[in-house]
Structure formats: C-alpha cells, structure tokens
Amino acid sequence: MTATMIETERFGKVETPLEQVYTFPEGLPGFPTCKRFALMRRGNGPMWWLQSCDNPRLAFVVADPRRFLPGYRVMATREDVSPIGLESPDDSMVLVILNVPADPSRTTANLRGPLVLNTERRLARQLVLQDDFWPLRYSVFGD
C-alpha cells in the first residue's frame, strides 16, 4: 500500500495510506485553498480527524452521522455530486463536521453542510443543503 507522510501540528508526522487522502477540488467553505485532507483515525471510536495536508494546523473532527442519528439522509442532487464524479451511492460516504467546544457534552454536528466523499476516486465536497430541514448545529448528546 502506498503511503504519504503528512505533517500535523497535533500528532507530528503521520504516515497515511494514500487511500485515506481525499481531494476537495473547491476546498472547504472558509478554507478555499486547503484542498487535500487525510482521514485519520485515532483510537477506536467512531470519530476521525480530517487533517489538512496543506496546513499542519488545520484539522476537523468528523463522524458518521448515523452513529448518533440513524435517520439522517442527504438528498443530493446531480449538481451536488457531479464535481466529485459521483455516479453511484455505493461509492459514497457521508461524514459531518463536529464542532467540539470546551465542554464536549455540548458538541454539535453540522448536518446542513455534510461532507460527501467519493471513496472510489477519493474526491470530496462539502454540500450546502438548500433545504433547511437539517440544522447547522445538531446537538449530538441531546440538550
């Protein structure tokens, strides 16, 4: 398996399999120049770090939303997923960014802007859902 060395502020240099490195062609809203991110698992929990490969300081905590909200569904349009060449849901994975404050019991998940990953081509994109059904700040552990 081919791997790449990614420099991170938190974990030092981390050898990461290339299949865990995703390109966000548009970057992320707010971080348009950061286009490559690695999904890094630390420990055994359901969370990952989404670590920027371009900026050692930039990382997000991301999770599979169905771990805390089994009914979560993303209704993506063709326009939503064509930039990452996604043709079949079988090749996709949906993750959401968690906002972890000083008190982690108040962690919220951004369900309005899910990350859709094309696992086959390792391209990804943060969607901005037009529908306001899913909130920007969903309380992961309840209120």
Partner 1 sequence: MLVLSRQVNQSIMIGDAVEITVVDIKGDKVRIGINAPSDVSVHRKEVWLAIQEENRQAADPAPEGLDQINRMLEKDNKPKD
Applying CB under 8 A, which residues contact partner 1?
10, 26, 28-31, 42-47, 49, 57-61, 63, 67-68, 78-79, 82-83, 97-100, 102, 104-105, 107, 110, 112-113, 126, 128, 130, 132, 136-137, 140-141
CB 62 within 8 A of CB 48: yes
Considering beta carbons, is residue 61 or 93 the nearer one to partner 1? 61
> For residues 141 and 35, what is the distance between their CA atoms, to the nearest angstrom?
31
Q: Which amino acid is at 45?
A: G
Considering beta carbons, is residue 33 or 105 the nearer one to partner 1? 105
Between strands 47-52 and 36-40, the pairing is antiparallel
Q: How far is the CB of 122 from partner 1 (least distance, A)?
A: 18
The secondary structure of residue 89, as a DSSP letter, is: G
End-to-end CA distance of the chain: 44
Pick the closest to residue 5 from 16, 59, 122 (CA basis).
Answer: 16
Q: How far is the CB of 139 from partner 1 (least distance, A)?
A: 12
Considering beta carbons, is residue 13 or 137 the nearer one to partner 1? 137
Q: How far is the CB of 137 from partner 1 (least distance, A)?
A: 7
Considering beta carbons, is residue 3 or 128 the nearer one to partner 1? 128
3-state secondary structure of 25: coil
Q: How far is the CB of 95 from partner 1 (least distance, A)?
A: 12
